[in-house]
Amino acid sequence: MSERGAAGPGPAAIQVSRIMRPDDANIAGNVHGGTVLKMIEEAGAIISTRHCNSQAGEPCVAALARVERTDFLSPMCIGEVANVSAEITYTSKHSVEVQVNVLSENILTGAKKVTNKATLWYVPLSLKNVNKVVEVPPIQYARKEQEDEGRKRYEEQKLDRLETKQRNGDVIFPVINPEPHTVGYSQSSLIHLVGPSDCTLLGFVHGGVTMKLMDEVAGIVAARHCKTNIVTASVDAINFHEKIKKGSVITISGRMTFTSNKSMEIEVFVDADPFVDEPQERYRAVSAFFTYVSLSKEGRPLPVPQLLTETEEEKRRFEEGKGRYLQTKAKRQAQMQRAAQQ
């Protein structure tokens, strides 16, 4: 791990590097999106925890609260080096915003390319009392506009987290003898017992571990639907509603919600059963939408089979997914136009 200087007080921006191994990738040699998300979260956890302990006060560990929309700009392959750089860009009284960039490097040719850009939000939890959120040391800004822009992003994500939590009541039920290309045909679930290696010093699951499992389930849904090589294209905001404690059994469920000609949207949520010495009932811990694309053996985009919706609920989710798809497409086109004018 290497570090470089930061503009404000607190920890320097950091860079974490690791070579991609065969167990990080799918059968086509493309690195799993979940592997990249886990590295992004690890870098964010390091810099935010370091910053929150940079001044005298109660020892704490930064817990992941949210990941903003993340686009996978270019695939990463086995043998390449992932260089993950992270820096703190905004702090509120009880939260830290971390910007993370991922650069893949071919160590044989020296060629480099940007593969990911992500924004993460962390909340510092006391080591003495995991339910206590401690105050975050402020950072200094080069310009007042940076602080104003950061405050705006903070308020927007806080509102979105609340809205997402309110609509998180869905449950996925098994479907008997489903037809190909229906929601029931590709929906998938994974059950995982949370062990010590999955957890932070506080005994709660690392956000990166959860995201990796979510990407794995989303990938299974996409592969079942297409029967081809698939890769993660983007992840909408991932909201961590509740902490997941060591010893819990988590169920990660995924279902297809929308398809365009060349992409698939998959809804994934994580439910936790804290069955060890815990009276708490099952609860929704995390939720997100993943977007996948289908690729040929040569790595070219392939058409995606149309999702067949059968129930009114499936049709409603399809239309909502279509709205998110068109909104994202419009934003991307606007960004391209602004870039062309500069």
- Under 8 Å between Cβ of 66 and 234: no
Report helix, strand or coil for 201. Answer: coil
Which of 198, 215, 236, 273 is flagged as catalytic? 215
Q: Residue type at 170?
A: D
| Best CA proximity match to 269, nearest among 170, 157, 160 | 170
Give the DSSP letter string of 239-264.
Answer: EE-S--BTT-EEEEEEEEEEE-SS-E
CA distances from 151 to 158, 207, 228, 290 (A): 11, 23, 43, 27
Q: How many whole angstroms separate alpha carbon 75 and alpha carbon 300?
A: 12
Answer yes or no: 26 catalytic.
yes
Q: How many whole angstroms separate alpha carbon 285 and alpha carbon 168?
A: 10
The alpha-carbon radius of gyration of the chain (Å, integer) is 20
| Best CA proximity match to 123, nearest among 157, 75, 167 | 157
Q: How many whole angstroms separate alpha carbon 29 and alpha carbon 298?
A: 12
Q: How many whole angstroms separate alpha carbon 243 and alpha carbon 238?
A: 14
| Best CA proximity match to 213, nearest among 191, 238, 237, 183 | 191
339 contact partners, CB below 8 Å, separation of at least 6: none
- Under 8 Å between Cβ of 100 and 85: yes
CA distances from 31 to 103, 107, 218 (A): 13, 16, 15
Please give the positions annotated as active site: 26, 215
